[in-house]
Amino acid sequence: MPNPGHLALVAGLVSSSYFTIGNISNAYFGVMPLTERGKTTLPVAARLKLWNDFYSIAKFHMAASAVASALSLSVAAYTLLSPPLRNLLALGAAASYFIPAFTVVFMLPLNNDLIAKLQADSVKPMELREEQRVLEQLDQWRIMHRVRIACGLVAWGAAVTALLATDKIISFAAN
């Protein structure tokens, strides 16, 4: 039977994979490229609506996967005996813990402002200056989102490396 550290490591790998691959996919192949300047002819209000639709779903999935990754990698770091792997997993856990903290401190005010602008636009359409400000804020959001992706890559890399460096977790041989 696998030990709890190995189970936590697998859980950390799964949750960090979900966070990292999901965010990379959305940032470069999903909705977010449709909000970029020069990549679409969509009106600014439509871009903001796309961002909001993405955000309102992703905030639950990505927050949960970042926290699950942080907790799982912490348990794995605590229970695995190899000091180098423990340190690597602690780094991955710290990167995962950083994601929600960074989001709340730096991105939440921007998110709330973008949501308020979308709600205001439904009452009174944005003027050109407001549209330019929204495009700047979406650019700023994308930059900050890349910080979260980088942290996700650190957590994912730590989990993959630790998994590859551990002994067999599951053995199908008869004892």
Contact 135, 37 (CB under 8 A): yes
Going from N- to C-terminal start, the domains of the chain cover 4-165
3-state helix, strand, coil in the chain (%, to 5): 80, 0, 20
The answer, yes or no, to whether residue 80 has pLDDT greater than 80, is: yes
What does the mean pLDDT of the chain come to? Answer: 92
* Percentage with pLDDT > 70 across the chain: 94
Its pTM surpasses 0.85: yes
Handedness of CA 32, 105, 123, 135 (dihedral sign): negative
